[in-house]
Amino acid sequence: MKASYSKHILDFNEPSGTSRGILRQKETWFLILKENERWGIGECGLLKGLSCDDRPDYEEKLKWVCDHIHLGKDVLYKEMRAFPSIQMGIETTFISLTSEDPFKLFPSKFTESEDTLPINGLMWMGDQSFMMDQFEQKLASGFKCIKMKVGAIDFKKELAVLKLIRQRFSKNEISLRVDANGAFTPKEALSKLEDLAALEIHSIEQPIKSGQWEAMATLCENTPLPIALDEELIGVFDLEQKKHLLDSIKPQLIILKPSFIGGFKGSQEWINLAQRQNIGWWITSALESNVGLNAISQWTYTLNTNGPQGLGTGSLFTNNVDSPLEVKNGFIGYNNAKIWSKIK
């Protein structure tokens, strides 16, 4: 068995704004295995400035994995404990290698083009006109659940956009999710959540910065709308620590990004803990290319999830890998009439 890796820089169609700044490019890595006539591919979806494994020795670790590929999936996964995106790449590459089709990791009605997954449409930050244009585009594309990034511009302007949407559509017609990416301070957060609740917002992701467990617990206890933990889960590797986090904060929801939390195995640990505590959850991609998005979408389908997932990021890039993944009317599917482009 031989292993290799390559870096791929994804270019955004247009600069995309979050409370952490403007995104123009996204670095990602492909891990490739070859054994006799078979081959497999996985994506190590690193996100600079957010992934806990955004470290200077990242490429060195990828090389180590390739040099020690003979150790097998389980040993390598364990060794890469501090590098969740590499764990994700290891998991998917080995599954891909042993699959009949390297791109069909979890055969199902989804991969046979017989079923789809509902997803939310994503609106990036910008001025009111830009955001309303995005909303109209999502509406025209058939999305019934829309997620809007908040926290980077004037909050009153962001509320104004949400008010315009809510004046036109009730919560039964359009479900609105917001993602603050930790932009609010603990002192101001509750007041802002009350403003959002008045607009019948479905939920808010990570209203305050991660690591403030006591403040987040207080917020979750008193919130007028469901709070979803996102960045809070990043860097929490130990099962007991995961349990302690959920016990301490008691969130209403958690958002699972496999590339950030140890792939499918790490995500499943969070799901098991959440279900025991009646905490809701959904799966979100983390700006991977279509290689990673494909693996996450197929795995998500096997979970029999309820509600829209966050898997609509494949169209954000000008140079993504061509794939059978297809978004139509607010659903993502796998169109077997399309083919994968060659991975360079």
3-state class (DSSP) for residue 17: strand
Tokens of 108: 């199902």
d(CA 24, CA 307): 30
Which amino acid is residue 15, in one-letter code? P
φ, ψ of residue 197 in degrees (nearest 5):
-65, -35
φ, ψ of residue 200 in degrees (nearest 5):
55, 50
The single residue listed with the structure tokens 């609509």 is: 312
Yes or no: say if 225 and 190 are a contact pair by the CB < 8 Å rule.
Answer: no
d(CA 289, CA 102): 16
Closest CA to 53 of 24, 6, 23, 85: 85
CA distances in angstroms from 238 to 51, 242, 252, 333, listed in the order given: 17, 6, 21, 34
- DSSP alpha helices (H): ranges in the chain? 58-67, 73-79, 84-97, 128-140, 155-168, 186-197, 213-222, 239-249, 263-276, 290-301
- Given 104, 138, 147, 149, the catalytic residue: 149
149 is catalytic: yes
The single residue listed with the structure tokens 């009949």 is: 100
Yes or no: say if 311 and 303 are a contact pair by the CB < 8 Å rule.
Answer: no
Closest CA to 212 of 240, 180, 184: 184
Helix axes 58-67, 84-97, angle to 10 degrees: 30
Yes or no: say if 330 and 121 are a contact pair by the CB < 8 Å rule.
Answer: yes
Residues assigned a catalytic role: 149, 257
